[in-house]
Every structure is written in C-alpha cells, then in structure tokens.
A and B are shown apart, each in its own frame.
Chain A
C-alpha cells in the first residue's frame, strides 16, 4: 500500500496505521483502534518520511559473477527474484547488449518518456520497455507493440491507476490489428490466448507488460496490489484479430472502436477480470438460423451476471470482449447478422431483472458508482449491463472451429487505442527472426 502515494509524486512511504483485515469486516471488534490510538497521533505529529533525496536518476547497473556462464545466469536469476523483480519463471538478464538489441525495434530514442507507472510511480521510458522485454525473452520486432500497449496502459482513460492496486484481479487485454500482428508472429488462431512456439510474440509482450506493472508499478501481490487471485497474470492477454477471416462488411476492431485507418497497425487495451469458454454450437439437428440464434442466447446468458466490477466501464469502457471464430462470424453474416445487430442482441438479452439485482445487493454498488449514468441506470428494469450496445467489444479470433466462443469479462473503465509505429529497420528485424527461429 505504501506504493499508492509514490505515484502522486510523493515519497513512497506515508503515515499509515495498518490493521489485520478482520478489523475491516462487518460486525468487527474495533477496539484495536483505541489500543493503537498513539500511532494515529504520532502519524499526525511525529512521523517523518524515511525516503531521502528526490529519487531521480537511473538506478545503477548490477553485476554478478559465477564459476561458469550457467552459474552466472543462475546467480542473476537469484538476484532478480530476491529483489522481487521476477515472476518465478526464468528470466533473461537485461544486459546492455540484449537491451540495445531490443532497442533496434524502436522508432524513438531510448530515453523517450512514456509516463510513470502506477501506483509506485516508476519512471517509464522506451528503455524501460526494452529492459522488460529483454527479461521476458522478447525480440526487437515485438517492441513497437509493447510500447504502444504501455502508452495505452498509462493513459488515464484506461483506469490502470486504480486497477493496478485493486482487489478485483484485473489483467490487461491487448488486441492487435493490422499487418504487424502476423508479421511478428502474434497468434490470432488456435490457442491464441495461450503459449505457442510457432507464434511466440504474445507471451513475451504480455509478460514484459506484467514485469513493468510489477517492477515499475510496484504491483507485488499483497503489497502493491491487493488482486485477490491474479488470474492471467503470467503473460496477461495479447493476441491479434484474425483479420483474414473477417466477413465482408465487418470492420476490424481497431477501426470500429478507435477509428484507425483500415489496414493500419494498432493496439487496443482493455482490462478483464475473467475468461469463460462458451459452447456456442448446437448439438442436434438445428437449422443454421436456429444454431446462430441459440448460440447468441447462450452467449448473452453468460453475460447476464451481476459483475459489479464491470460498473467501472459502464459508461465509457466495456462489459467485456467477445471472441468469435472467423467461421462463426462468416456463417452468421451469411444469415444476415452484422456486428452491430449482434451487439444490439447481446445488450438486450443480457439485461438483468431489477428483482434479481436487489436480491444480490447490487443497487448499493450502483448507487455509489462514480458515473452518474451508471447511478441513473438503476431506474431501468431490466437493468442493462452497460449503457449502450456499442460498448461490447466483439473481435474475430480463435481457431477455425465453430463450437466455442470466448468471453473476457470486463473490468475496464476505458478501451484505449494506440497506433503501432514501426522502425525503418523492421524488415531486417523480421529477416533476422527468420534466420534465428525459423520461417514464420
């Protein structure tokens, strides 16, 4: 929790009186407040920050020695884990040579400042991204996507300042549009949310983003972030939209949500707090139209839940990201569905009867929401899970198989887009990748 004030430009410590969680629960014994009253009084009178200096300046280079190269590598990993800079998996030490190699993927100077990472407030530069990408086993051609994702993450519209520390276990989802996805070997098909040695970019980019969240942002479990479960946090979620499978007339997500030119490379960042596979396909002798309609109802039913964390994005964000296989999107288009009509359907059929909201105590959460639009929505029965259908994100991704779709439940105050700028040397970086890890 001490990180919380550093991001505001204050020293990273503060006068706090902390208690075990039991004190904060309904019906608790609050006598410890009196027993420890002197700590409150001291916080107002005697407390002084233990943080000396202004903290500016780059931290020094680190050095380890070992009896062999393997021993030095092991010692470097031990040092990084001991300093709480790792995630438990092996790391590449971010040596000067490796970081400089990664920086070949940047169009901008290494010192270009991207912002400060909340809540700890670590100064974030292009070089910071390269260091994290080096640690995560990344390659230079991945850097443009990571830098764009970090810029989006640090945009206040993303809500990252609160979500980094919040207990709801939000994880960033990065959707990549345009040619850059396929060119850097980002997965858009089978297994696109998991590891894939044929398309390894998503794991490294997502892991690098997580390392930045932790090492610059201070999101250490139970210390800098109260994320209760932390699902999806080894690599976050980074995938490309399967634009080759988009039905005629379907705009790519980057164009649809952010207005980027068709065919341009971009990223879109939102936060999710859950992931659900939906068996969408019918099982017997449904007609194509019945199969489509039943699948739509089944998906809407998965969305019709009291996700109070989702209130964060009620007005400007998203209730979630629906991932549809290309073959399903094409079939449904053939039946007359459009992306817009699917959103309208999902919005209408995911509404929750007010009686069910009351039964679950949801009005109390809605009444204290920061958004007046969200607060006013309490008057609606059934209650829509988001203010407008356009807030639903629908992307075409996943393998060429029609049975399942995927729902990334939203906890996302905004959906932030950024263009991806490629360096002049991009083609040579791809050629280098071909030589080193084989044909794409």
Chain B
C-alpha cells in the first residue's frame, strides 16, 4: 500500500521586469563612478579600489569617491540615480553592505 500527497510549492513566482545593466566590454578608457554608503569601511576600501582601477587600465577615469551623495539615507534615492546618469559614467561600483 502506498500513499501520496500533492501540494503547492510555497515559494511563489518571481517577476523579472527589467534587465541588469549591460556590462562594458573593457575598462580601458572608460569612466567609472562609486556610490558609497560610507558604512563598513567603505571609506578605506573604495579609495583602494579606485587606485587599483587607475593603475590597471589605461585612460580610465575614476570619479572621486564623493562625486555622488554618500550615506544610506541618500544613495537609494531617485535624485542620486539621476546624478549618476547625468555624470555619463559607463559603470558604477556600489558599496558596502554587510
């Protein structure tokens, strides 16, 4: 004798409404920005990363860490997103979360 149970998967559906930003082919000659929440040692780690990018890729322009508003209170705002768009950057690094 056997018994069976059929039941709903409780994890529901996920909707993907928009794609992630396209990647750049390479970083040489590109303009890169940082959006920082100033948390979790971002004030040390992001400048280190900036220096590494500038050393490794010819013609790259890496904007200052404070080029955009910083802090958890503002980095998720539409205003900050508009500033990032207006800056003409090809790519953005966001940090830090823990």
Task: For B16, give its contact among A54, A211, A215 (CB under 8 Å).
Answer: A54
A26 contacts the other chain (CB 8 A): yes
Q: Are B49 and A95 in contact (CB under 8 A)?
A: no
- Provide the bound-state CA to CA distance between A30 and B41, in Å: 9
Q: Are B16 and A55 in contact (CB under 8 A)?
A: yes
B85 contacts the other chain (CB 8 A): no
Q: Separation in Å of the A368 CB from the closest CB of chain B?
A: 6
- Provide the bound-state CA to CA distance between A122 and B13, in Å: 6
Q: Separation in Å of the A372 CB from the closest CB of chain B?
A: 10
**CB nearest neighbor in B for A95:** B7
Q: Separation in Å of the A91 CB from the closest CB of chain B?
A: 9
A6-37 CB contact bits vs B (8 Å, 1 = yes)?
10011110110000010111101010011001
B41-74 CB contact bits vs A (8 Å, 1 = yes)?
1001100110011001000000000000001110
- Provide the bound-state CA to CA distance between A60 and B7, in Å: 9
- Provide the bound-state CA to CA distance between A96 and B7, in Å: 6
Q: Which residues of chain B are within 8 angstroms of A49 by Cβ–Cβ distance?
A: 19-20
B88 contacts the other chain (CB 8 A): no
B17-45 CB contact bits vs A (8 Å, 1 = yes)?
11110011111000010000010110011
Q: Are A55 and B13 in contact (CB under 8 A)?
A: yes
Q: Which residues of chain B are within 8 angstroms of A11 by Cβ–Cβ distance?
A: 16, 19-20
Task: Identify the stretch in A69-77, A277-285, A351-359, A415-423 within 8 Å (CB) of chain B at 4 or more residues.
Answer: A69-77
Q: Are A10 and B18 in contact (CB under 8 A)?
A: yes
Q: Are A73 and B14 in contact (CB under 8 A)?
A: no
A107-151 CB contact bits vs B (8 Å, 1 = yes)?
000000000110011111000100110010000000000000000
Q: Which residues of chain B are within 8 angstroms of A10 by Cβ–Cβ distance?
A: 16-20
A85 contacts the other chain (CB 8 A): yes
Q: Which residues of chain B are within 8 angstroms of A33 by Cβ–Cβ distance?
A: 45, 48-49, 52
Q: Are A62 and B13 in contact (CB under 8 A)?
A: no
Q: Separation in Å of the A162 CB from the closest CB of chain B?
A: 9
Q: Separation in Å of the B74 CB from the closest CB of chain A?
A: 8
**CB nearest neighbor in A for B70:** A368
Within 8 A of B (CB), among A213-227: 215-216, 226
A229 contacts the other chain (CB 8 A): no
The answer to whether A131 and B16 touch (CB under 8 A), given A72-B5, A93-B5, is no
Q: Which residues of chain A are within 8 angstroms of B13 by Cβ–Cβ distance?
A: 55-59, 122-123
- Provide the bound-state CA to CA distance between A153 and B90, in Å: 37
- By size class, the interface of chain B is 35 or more
Q: Separation in Å of the B65 CB from the closest CB of chain A?
A: 14
Q: Which residues of chain A are within 8 angstroms of B45 by Cβ–Cβ distance?
A: 23, 30, 33
Q: Are B8 and A123 in contact (CB under 8 A)?
A: no
Q: Which residues of chain A are within 8 angstroms of B83 by Cβ–Cβ distance?
A: none
A249 contacts the other chain (CB 8 A): no
- Provide the bound-state CA to CA distance between A34 and B47, in Å: 11
A40-61 CB contact bits vs B (8 Å, 1 = yes)?
1100111111010111111111
The answer to whether A9 and B6 touch (CB under 8 A), given A21-B98, A44-B23, A44-B27, is no
- Provide the bound-state CA to CA distance between A64 and B53, in Å: 53
Q: Separation in Å of the B79 CB from the closest CB of chain A?
A: 13
Q: Which residues of chain A are within 8 angstroms of B98 by Cβ–Cβ distance?
A: 21, 24, 226
A145-167 CB contact bits vs B (8 Å, 1 = yes)?
00000000000000000000000
The answer to whether A6 and B27 touch (CB under 8 A), given A37-B56, A40-B93, A66-B2, is no
Q: Are A215 and B4 in contact (CB under 8 A)?
A: no
Q: Are B7 and A61 in contact (CB under 8 A)?
A: yes
**CB nearest neighbor in A for B26:** A45
Q: Are B2 and A67 in contact (CB under 8 A)?
A: yes
Q: Which residues of chain B are within 8 angstroms of A58 by Cβ–Cβ distance?
A: 12-13
**CB nearest neighbor in A for B39:** A24
A to B CB contacts below 8 Å, 6 in the list: A10-B16, A24-B98, A44-B27, A122-B14, A124-B12, A215-B10
Point out residues on B near A: beta carbons under 8 Å.
1-20, 23-27, 32, 38, 40-41, 44-45, 48-49, 52-53, 56, 71-73, 91, 93, 96-98
Point out residues on A near B: beta carbons under 8 Å.
1, 4-6, 9-12, 14-15, 21, 23-26, 28, 30, 33-34, 37, 40-41, 44-49, 51, 53-69, 71-73, 75-76, 80, 83, 85, 93-96, 99, 116-117, 120-124, 128, 131-132, 135, 211, 215-216, 226, 368-370
A-B interface, 8 closest residue pairs, ranked by CB to CB distance from nearest: A9-B17, A59-B9, A122-B12, A24-B40, A370-B73, A55-B14, A93-B7, A72-B3
